[in-house]
């Protein structure tokens, strides 16, 4: 998440840095977004 969103690196570069596939990076980013959304929703009491 940090490499992609904060450091603004393309997914291809993130995949190379993490030594994984672009599909794996996409999956990890999606799960991270879902986790963040869930935590924020829980903390807001919704």
Chain segment 1-45, per-residue pLDDT in tens: 999 999 999 999 999 999 999 999 999 999 999 999 999 998 876
Torsion of CA 11, 8, 3, 41, to 10 degrees: -100
What's the pLDDT score for residue 22? 98
3-class SS string, the chain: CHHHHHCCCCHHHHHHHHCCCHHHHHHHHHHHHHHHHHHHHHHHCC
From the CB of residue 7, how many other CB atoms can be counted at a distance below 10 Å? 11
How many independent structural domains does the chain possess? Answer: 1
- pLDDT at 43 (0 to 100): 84
Instruction: Please tell me the predicted confidence (pLDDT) of residue 8.
Output: 95
Q: Which two tokens stand for residue 18?
A: 């993490």
Asked whether residue 46 carries a pLDDT value surpassing 70, the answer given is: no
Residue range(s) defining the domain that contains residue 11: 2-44
């Amino acid at each position: 998440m940090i490499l992609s969103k904060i450091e603004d690196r393309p997914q291809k570069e993130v995949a190379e840095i993490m030594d994984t596939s672009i599909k794996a990076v996409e999956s990890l980013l999606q799960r991270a977004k879902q986790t963040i959304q869930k935590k924020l929703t829980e903390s807001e009491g919704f």
